[in-house]
Structure 1
Amino acid sequence: MTDQAAQHSGTGDAAEGPRLTTRETAELLGVKPETVYAYVSRGQLSSRRAPGGRGSTFDAAEVAALVRRTGRRDPAPAQGDLVFRTGITFIDRDRYYFRGVDATELARHHSYEEVAEWVWTGEIRPGVRFTAPPESLAAARRAIDALPAHSGSTDRLRVALVAAAAADPLRFDLSSRGVLNSARGMIPTLVGALPMAGGRELPADGDSGNGAGIARQLWPRLTAQPADAASLTVLDTALALLTDHDLAASTLAARVAASAHAHPYAVVSAGLGVLEGPLHGAASGLAHRMLAEVVDRGGAAPVVADHLRTGRPVPGLGHRLYTGEDPRATALFALLAEVPQAAPVLAAARDVVATTARHTPLHANIDLALAVLSVARGMPAEAGETVFAVSRTAGWIAHALEEYAERPLRLRPIGQYEGPRPPRPLPAG
């Protein structure tokens, strides 16, 4: 028995040893009371109804043994929100940090691949490049070729991911080295499997673009316009900036998959499934269409008015974690100012912000900045979602590495049943 458990007299008699209330048990384990009953349902604790039928009691020695096996965790917050200990991203006062380093500064001085390595390992590997395994790339391209022509980029990425996983016999190696080896091949495979913009032929497997940075490999899959240095810098910086953003919805899904010890490809697939939602990764497409309309109509006022009249929020504005402008947008706007083709679109974005501010003080977010790039350089509306998905793959891998080190299947909430009370008669028919 731990010293702390021994101090609780509980409700049992001397022959059995002390018993603890649910609240006392939760405090010792550092969990919510609901989680105590989850331990009971899994057979890790036994319970007994308290005298008078109010609540349950638990054997103090059994609780102490569970504390020794699992380790005491910090108590859950009063509001009941899930909290994950993570060493990856910290967001504070309208800034965010990767492993303690300002993320916008990292993205300004390092490539996407270098930032990914930093997020994964805490080390910078100057000049690092990721290479797609030929077998995985070939399998991913064949799978994408079988899709309907109208398939979206996220559809293609998910299918490519499944095919690449099937081609990787080492995908079940969940050691840090194994996961990182899979990740370094997975990202360029996803990019290399995407079709070229404008209907151009894909390069042969032996000339897939391996050796070039991810941004340069991705560019011709987003637009038929030739790349220039300034635009490539914007794309590479966007990839770096979007690598992670704490526990976004897609990252939570990825961690749940990792908690079940799903392999890295399955973890990324879980993230992609959530990312496709219109309130997450697909939000940049809405900003793209809105911004293109502003450019076409010569001003933001009529477009913003249409959104307000129909009760639709103006895309690309506001973020729940920032009171001012999204720092990722700020960083990209500064780089977009160096891209000549972006000048009219950037002005249109500023017009949207200023016009909307007359109604509500919202600031630009990353979706608006991605829309400036995609509209200015002739990319489709889904280009921002593609950038988001490719970039965030590195973040999902980083969170998977953390989750693999945790107790398996810890992310198992208990449902609060609100249906008819059993037993009920067997339905007729």
Structure 2
Amino acid sequence: MRDQESGPGHPERRLTTKEAAELLGVKPETVYAYVSRGQLSSRRVPGGRASTFDAGEVAALARRNRRESAAPAGSGGELSVRTRVTLIDQDRYYYRGVDATELATRHSYEEVAEWLWTGRLRQGAAFTAPEAVVAVARRAVEALPGHTGPIDRLRVAAIAAGAADPLRFDLSERAVLGTARALIPTLVAALPPQGSVPRDDGGPLARRLWGRLSGRPADEASLRVLDTALGLLVDHDLAASTLAVRVAASARAHAYAAVSAGLGVIEGPLHGAAGGLAHRMLLEVLDRGDAAPVIAEELRAGRRIPGLGHHLYRGEDPRARRLFALLAEIPRAEPALAAARDVVATTARHAPLHANVDLALAVLTASSGMPSTASETIFAVARTAGWIAHALEEYGERPLRMRPSGHYVGPRPPRPLPSPE
């Protein structure tokens, strides 16, 4: 019902909350979020508790939302998505306005995740998974072939956990956060332990994850590096996997399916595999005692040097800088750290490329007795929290808004039916 209220000039059209939500393509609660952010103004109905909204103001916001969601002029068709999660600016990055490197250094991965999801810092936050769900995920993962990689295991665990949750289609913020707090530890618990290390499903997530990555005992300094790495990798704006998650959430896929979409993209060699390549490169440098011949062979083969350069940073990746500083405090990591410095210095003779987080992760994994795939696991577990944050944002937007139009370049119809070969 539209409320007509006369003003000094023409009548002012007013919309109910439901009408405003329909025009904006969002949930009614998102309309009030726009009001709290100052993007819309509201007025109480005389004698009632309901609010009304200026039709022209709502229409202008809807047009602005459509423009911001479409490809900006001159961008080459790149998609621009409004987000309040992460900002990357001048070789630094921020989670909800807070310096991400400082946050990840001073707080646990679980606390960083809670900040990203809710904008509140829950001191001592801990994630637990229902035993029944963990059992389902483990059975599914254990049924896979022995050569299965970690990302496949994580994706199967996510799908199995979703299948075990009859309430997975509840997309309310409270339900999705409950899913996230259970899903992340379930993913870790479903991974097989390394060597003879017993399963550890209690305590901080970094400690639980360590036993799935390394057969060596975990010392506090190494656990601090792993926990900080998880916090640093929680989110990094709209990476390819994050965009896939938002597309899935735009179609109202549940949180397990959205995370599965992100895991599918991470497995691509151009996204999640760089840390493994850097790991193998460092081992070869350590074996030869010199980075020069290793770099020469990479360049001769026409391959990029893994672990170097990042298109979002002119200088050194701030995530790498923080991890290198922590790794320098661990004597066991010194040889791998020296090999990484040698790689950077050798490459700098030809191209001024700085270390990125993949090289720092490679130092951690290579010096901790972890397999070359360990960095993929760390990346995927960490980024799951960021995917949830982006899915939550997308659930509050107009559904199916990430539906670009195809530019058909094939033969023009009509064409005759093809003849059988």
Q: TM-score range by the shorter chain?
A: 0.7 to 0.9
2: CA distance between counterparts of 1:160 and 1:420? 43
**255 and 297 in structure 1: CA distance in 2 versus 1, 3 angstrom threshold:** same
Q: Which moved more, 1:380-389 or 1:192-201?
A: 192-201
Would you say 1:424 and 2:415 are equivalent positions? yes
Q: What does 1:398-417 correspond to in 2, within 5 Å?
A: 398-417=389-408
- Aligned residue number for residue 253 of structure 1: 244
Contact 2:295–2:305 at 8 Å: present in 1 too? yes
Aligned sequence identity (%):
69
- Aligned residue number for residue 318 of structure 1: 309
Query: Could you tell me the TM-score, scaled by structure 1's length?
Result: 0.82
Q: Secondary structure at the match of 2:94?
A: strand
Would you say 1:102 and 2:132 are equivalent positions? no
**242 and 299 in structure 1: CA distance in 2 versus 1, 3 angstrom threshold:** same
Report Cα offsets for 1:312-332 as digits up to 9, x if no partner. 111100001001100000000
2: CA distance between counterparts of 1:66 and 1:104? 38
TM-aligned CA deviation for residue 424 of structure 1 = 1.2
TM-aligned CA deviation for residue 72 of structure 1 = 3.4
- Aligned residue number for residue 33 of structure 2: none
Would you say 1:137 and 2:134 are equivalent positions? yes
Amino acid at match of 2:152: D
1: CA distance between counterparts of 2:60 and 2:169? 30
Q: What does 1:68-107 correspond to in 2, within 5 Å?
A: 70-73=62-65, 74=67, 76-78=71-73, 79=75, 80-107=77-104
2: CA distance between counterparts of 1:378 and 1:288? 11
- Aligned residue number for residue 5 of structure 1: none
- Aligned residue number for residue 57 of structure 1: none
**327 and 69 in structure 1: CA distance in 2 versus 1, 3 angstrom threshold:** closer
Q: Which moved more, 1:306-315 or 1:86-95?
A: 306-315
Q: Secondary structure at the match of 1:172?
A: coil
Q: What does 1:270-281 correspond to in 2, within 5 Å?
A: 270-281=261-272
Q: Secondary structure at the match of 1:96?
A: strand
Unaligned runs of 5+ in 2: 1-23, 25-55
Q: Secondary structure at the match of 2:217?
A: coil
1: CA distance between counterparts of 2:59 and 2:410? 34
Amino acid at match of 1:77: P
Aligned residues, how many?
A: 362
Contact 2:87–2:97 at 8 Å: present in 1 too? yes
- Aligned residue number for residue 343 of structure 2: 352
Unaligned runs of 5+ in 1: 1-28, 30-63
- Equivalent residue in structure 2 for 1:335, among 326, 340, 356: 326
Report Cα offsets for 1:365-408 as digits up to 9, x if no partner. 00000000000011000000000000000000000000000000
Report Cα offsets for 1:205-248 as digits up to 9, x if no partner. xxx523x1110000010000100010000000000000000000
1: CA distance between counterparts of 2:82 and 2:204? 32
Amino acid at match of 1:72: R
Would you say 1:155 and 2:146 are equivalent positions? no
- Aligned residue number for residue 367 of structure 1: 358
Contact 2:197–2:211 at 8 Å: present in 1 too? no
Q: RMSD of the alignment, in Å?
A: 1.8
- Aligned residue number for residue 41 of structure 2: none
Q: What does 1:157-236 correspond to in 2, within 5 Å?
A: 157-198=154-195, 200=197, 203=199, 208-210=200-202, 212-236=203-227
**181 and 417 in structure 1: CA distance in 2 versus 1, 3 angstrom threshold:** same
1: CA distance between counterparts of 2:58 and 2:99? 39
1: CA distance between counterparts of 2:231 and 2:401? 30
1: CA distance between counterparts of 2:165 and 2:196? 29
2: CA distance between counterparts of 1:260 and 1:71? 21
Amino acid at match of 2:399: P
Query: Could you tell me the TM-score, scaled by structure 2's length?
Result: 0.83
Amino acid at match of 2:324: F
**158 and 339 in structure 1: CA distance in 2 versus 1, 3 angstrom threshold:** same
1: CA distance between counterparts of 2:79 and 2:256? 25
- Aligned residue number for residue 291 of structure 1: 282
1: CA distance between counterparts of 2:168 and 2:385? 16
2: CA distance between counterparts of 1:164 and 1:77? 39
- Equivalent residue in structure 2 for 1:382, among 337, 360, 373: 373
Contact 2:278–2:307 at 8 Å: present in 1 too? yes
Amino acid at match of 1:143: A
Report Cα offsets for 1:108-153 as digits up to 9, x if no partner. 1000000000000000001110001111100000001100011111
TM-aligned CA deviation for residue 282 of structure 1 = 1.1
